[in-house]
Amino acid sequence: MYIIFALLVPAAFIYYIAGTDDDFISNGIPYVAGLVAGILAVFVNSVFNSFLPTQTSLLVVKGILIFVSDTIIPMILGNLALFFIFQAPVRQKISRIRQHSFGIMTIYLPYIMISSYNLPDFWCVILIPIMTVSILFLIDFYIGRIIVSPNSTDALDFVISCAPVFVSMFMADVAKTLWYFKFSPWIFFPVSLAVAAFSFVLRCAKYRR
């Protein structure tokens, strides 16, 4: 099972680059940068968890911890670090968020599954990886729309345009929190499936253009 966690995002990345016009080098270099950022994100999260208790009976506190650990550290801080480290036109930096995200989660998904979701539970073993890959393809969809927009370099326009991605990330972490507190599967299953279905529908719409 751990091998599947390790290979899932790389397989999704191969599928992603098969549908782009960019050459392998153009996609591969930012992907490798994402791998490095993923390793650093693992280190940052380990330090974060060493200072704060990961086990709590408070729903809101646990939700915040999951949001910071599963979303803020890898996807937000990781991409922000790469955005400011590399020198390139802003539009190109924004475009690279897609490859960076795949690289980051190639490292971070197996780590988080082993460290936080290693229970033999169908939902966490199947749905958490599916939500992760779904969010990566949502990033691809909305970043693709942003870079062809005349306002692609405007920070506020970027945040507004990527709002569905941020909402999906939040919903995924809500589902993880509800699962952690053993809420009814009829509550967190639909939330996780909604994230996956939303990404799937947009992916199909992209191919129909």
Q: Does position 143 have pLDDT exceeding 70, yes or no?
A: yes
- Amino acid symbol at 199: S
Count of domains forming the chain: 1
pLDDT attached to residue 119: 73
pLDDT attached to residue 5: 83
Look up tokens 């589902």; give the residue.
175
Torsion of CA 74, 76, 82, 88, to 10 degrees: 150
Look up tokens 């995924």; give the residue.
172
64-99: per-residue pLDDT in tens? 999 999 999 999 999 999 999 988 888 889 999 999
pLDDT attached to residue 208: 63
**Residue-range definition of the domain harbouring residue 153:** 2-208
Report the SS3 class of residue 144.
helix
102-135: per-residue pLDDT in tens? 999 999 999 999 988 877 788 999 999 999 999 9
pLDDT attached to residue 203: 85
